[in-house]
Amino acid sequence: MPPLDVLALSGIRLYQRSLSPHKGFRCAHAALHGGESCSAAVARIVQEDGLRGGRARILARFRECRAAYNVLHAGSPLAFGTSGPRVRGVCCCGPIPIPFRCG
């Protein structure tokens, strides 16, 4: 495996172990569609095709994640029932507004 691939995988693993558990949210693609996060997907692509050879697949995954973020951020009905973003609001079903938080 080329040194650049080893370095990329080491950086991804460091991110997954040290930063990701503490950031408080997850990859939009995984939140909307389920399955692996972008960091896991990119690590798999690097292992399969290498960093340079998998460049197109990596960029496509990031584009898909951005599109998933846009769907979730817009409050699309497609996001209903997913483990998407944390939803906050006020229930106005009665005479007293009740604040709530889901997620």
Domain boundaries, given as residue ranges, for the chain: 3-102
Rounded alpha-carbon distances, angstroms, from residue 99 to 30, 56, 80, 92: 27, 44, 19, 9
Confidence (pTM): 0.69
DSSP string, 10-53: HHHHHIIIIIGGGSS---HHHHHH-S--HHHHHHHHHHHH-TTT
Band the pLDDT of 77: cuts 50, 70, 90: low
Per-residue confidence band for 21, with pLDDT thresholds at 50, 70 and 90? confident
pLDDT of residue 76: 56
**Mind listing the pLDDT tens digit for each residue in 79-94?**
555 454 444 444 444 4
pLDDT bin (cut points 50, 70, 90) of residue 95 is very low
Give pLDDT, residue 84: 46
